[in-house]
Structure 1
Amino acid sequence: MKNVLEIPRILLITNIVLLVILGYIVAGFIFGKDSGQSAIVEPISTTDGEKIALSKNPVQTENPDIILERDIFGSSGRSSAKQNPEQVTRENSISVLKAQLRLLATVAGDEDVACAVIENVKTKIQDLYRTGDIIAGTRIERIDRNKIVLINEGQREVLNLYVTDGISDRIEKSTETVVAQKPDAAEAVNVISPTEREINKKAFLARVGGMEAIIKAVEVAPYLEDGQEKGVRITGLEGLSMARFVGFENGDVIQNINGSTVTNRRKAFQILRKARSQSSIDIQLLRGQQEKKLSFGIK
């Protein structure tokens, strides 16, 4: 009697097992079909060349690039694994450019006024540049306050004002000391005669706030005679109290420096840069209709 009662239980367990097996078979068939893999039927009686593909367009899924190219999941995911080669090249280009050039000062404004002092790190040569000039294989597209925009291989790049590491901290910590030690005008410039001055270069730059302050304050424009450049006119001296003390007046036209004719702003900068190492500078200028000469001894 006990054996008779066990029979239904055995049949029930057997049915459950069969249902589970059947479920796996059905699930395998359904999900195998949806996965996009090709099902190949290879009868025993056929050769390798007689394989029958159930799918009309079989896909070789062993190559994962196919999934990436089709972007099935909305993102290839390759960007997170590998950095874009163009991005790497661009970052290298910017770092190389900054290693070659240093932006020392800028004067913002329209194309006729804007200029920038840029130093070639390798040659240590400083020069004055304007919008459209070429430097280190790049073109200056725009000059802004404390930065310039360059076109390098068709891409825009920004070169910011060069600041020595830690200089800001040193300036902040010593502001009161600098103000207290700011030299008098007489200490910076010794007036020998109406046309002669002796300048203490270090004291003079400390008095006016550095060469950058001069470049930013002074406006320089070409002076034309009969359509030809005959010098550069300087304005904006109102903000530099030392300018008149040195002997310059607003609107003066600088025509000659140490025997070299000044035809434009760049020429004037180049001549002054060369004259920095000399002990004297002679400047011929035009004030109104009168020619004047100023001589400066540098110490």
Structure 2
Amino acid sequence: MQDFVKRYFWVLGAVVVMVCSLFAAKATGHILEAKFLGDPAHGPKIVAAPQPTTTTAKPRHDKDGTQMEKRNMFCSDCTPPVATTPTNTDPSSITNTSLPLVLVATNVAPTDKDSYATVINTESQRQGAFGVGDQLPGASGKVKEIHYKYVDFENSGRIERLVLVGVTPPPTPVASAEPTPTPTGEGDDLQASIDNGIKKIDDSTYEIDKKLVDQVLANPMAVAKGARVVPAVKNGKPDGFKLYAIRPSSVYAKLGLTNGDTIQSINGFELTTADKALEVYTKLREATSLEMEVTRRGKPVTLKYTIR
């Protein structure tokens, strides 16, 4: 079971078609990070690389007078510094990938053959666990290195980097960056779609425009920052996902969710284990009506959604 969770507990994606496509990636990332990355006792020891230091040469006596020429005759303790070779420590020397890939989690082992990364292609919805030498979905080359917070792989004849979801990637070097055109007002268009695409019928019933659902499914990370989603634990066992810091203009608020809500299940499927999450995603991605069970201030609340 543990091996199954490691390999297949990826982004919950569009569990609620709309809702879970927004927060599942972040929530699943938190679970996997806490399970596999948060406990230093289960990971290989990391030793910080020593920083290069400037050293001074020890006094040496010679017979040709060279040392006397180089030394300061007015300072007997002064010796000429030894020149050091500068090292390139630029962390952004590798280009961040522009492919529609999301790195959900990594499992770094002492050997490359036992290390793997869980990756999903948000366009084709292909996902899985990939090791060194495997080809990521949508990439033309193979995985070169797997680290705790990023994966380096070959694509289009060069090495590109995919950073763990939730981790801010370093700035891409100007020399190797490829300009990606961004439509003017893209964020404003998405916010307008959210405002116009969700209709509140009453406090527990909502209608969602199918076009908005398709737009969110195509780019779920665009709205993932509207709230903080963390795994809920009760009596030492997984108990859904809890929401904090919901922005008033976010899709979470538009769908009737409030700070402190704990999402327990969707259409009767509990969001507790890896196989349950995968089952929910598979069965509900094309659903047209949804019922979400939420615990709010200790009381159960049912939110109903119709997709038109």
**Structure-2-length-normalised TM-score:** 0.43
- TM-score, scaled relative to structure 1: 0.44
* Larger gyration radius, structure 1 or structure 2: 1
Q: Which has the higher contact order (CA 8 A, sep 6+)?
A: 2
Structure 1 or 2: larger helix share?
1
